[in-house]
Amino acid sequence: MSIIITDADAERLISIPEAIEAMRVAFRDLAEGKAVNPPRLRYSSTTPDPTRRYTANIHAGAVESAGVACVRAGQAFVPVQPADGRKVNVADDVNYTIVILYDLRTGEPLAFMHETYLSGLRVGATSALAVSLAAREDAGVLGVFGTGMQAVPACKAICAVRPIRRVKVFSPNPAHRAAFVQKMAGEAFETVAVDDPREVVRGAHVVACNTNSKVPVLNGEWLEPGQMVITIGNSDVMNPRHEVDETTFARASQIIINDWDSVEANRQVELSGPIAKGLVKRENVYELGDIVAGKTVLVREPGGIVFYKNNTGLAMQFAACGAILHKKLLAEGTNRTIPTEWFASGKPHI
């Protein structure tokens, strides 16, 4: 039987340490040739409604150690702004994105999974994995830009791998800052809201940007020796996003990314641009999986700034976490099942 895995299941059944370990396994497999993860595909289309466009975000991949492959088919609508300058908003209250998990042994669909909760968790867990490998061991202060669905799991995950005692958070919206502080109430670390974005960086050991901003939220001139910087926003073929400026790239002694193929395939000019200008040396850009697998030894320069550019979402992240959820939910029992034979058809054409 195939099962349905909901956001509520994911929130209940997979812990942050489990998610971080799942990312470690996936990226190790990727470096060792046991995980497959082609760059994501994005496209958009006109719709019968002239005020909005349909957009798709498709991932596919597999993790041998988890025994699972997956396809994530994401969708959303974006507004088409009229020529007269009026602002048009598109309200989407429901996310119909589906992740299909497949058994690598039999090819059978194991589960159909919600992606909203996992989407933020796997990004945060991957950032935490990078922090565990590259940040100073005694990092005690975390600076956070952003207060949305990506910021909360990132903050908690990073604090799970370093002895963070204080978190400073900034958002342009004071109400959002206050709400974030409230969400972190009861955690082992203190969370404070700051009014000045420079204060996020001042004295922090790790600075994490978790926004969807199209303009830099971090000025590279603010950075201090020995810090680690993290970003999750990326400019690609459809999303012109820049969380940091070129000074940040130029000041980084080492840059870590998830996947170089995605830089090229998705035209991620935010990184390729500084390389082309000579601000960044290509040989100073490392893939996270190579560090996890020990193929690359990251040597911290005294006072050097390490920049982890969480440059793309990968299907293997959903596969690795999905395998854990599938196993746990099966053991627990669920009545949300679909007969697997409903999906069986003729001989596959490859």
pLDDT given at position 345:
87
Structure tokens at 110: 């194991």
pLDDT given at position 90:
60
Task: Give burial (CB, 10 Å; 0-12/13-18/19+) of 137.
Answer: exposed
- Say if residue 144 is in the same domain as residue 291: yes
- Say if residue 106 is in the same domain as residue 162: no
> What is the pLDDT averaged over residues 316-330?
98
Indicate whether 323 pLDDT > 80. Answer: yes
Structure tokens at 117: 């909760």
- Say if residue 171 is in the same domain as residue 145: yes
pLDDT given at position 187:
94
Q: Where in the sequence is the domain holding 248, given as residue range(s)?
A: 124-309
* Alpha helix (H) residue ranges in 86-150: 116-134
The pair phi, psi for residue 148, each rounded to 5°, is -85, -160
- Say if residue 339 is in the same domain as residue 273: no
User: Angle at the Cα of 231 (from 280 to 16), degrees rounded to 5?
Assistant: 135
- Say if residue 284 is in the same domain as residue 222: yes
CATH code where residue 27 lies: 3.30.1780.10
| pTM of the predicted model as reported, rounded to 2 decimal places | 0.93
Residue with tokens 């997979």: 14
pLDDT given at position 42:
87
- Say if residue 290 is in the same domain as residue 178: yes
| Measured CA distances, 152 to 35, 68, 158 (Å) | 28, 27, 10
Spatial CA neighbour of 154 closest among 102, 85, 100, 229: 229
Structure tokens at 315: 């299907």
Indicate whether 92 pLDDT > 70. Answer: no
The 10s digit of each residue's pLDDT in 16-36 is 999 999 999 999 999 999 999
Structure tokens at 348: 């596959």
Q: How many domains does the chain have?
A: 2
The 10s digit of each residue's pLDDT in 217-274 is 999 999 999 999 999 988 776 677 889 999 999 999 999 999 999 998 888 888 999 9
The 10s digit of each residue's pLDDT in 158-198 is 999 999 999 999 999 999 999 999 999 999 999 999 999 99
- Say if residue 69 is in the same domain as residue 26: yes
CATH code where residue 192 lies: 3.40.50.720
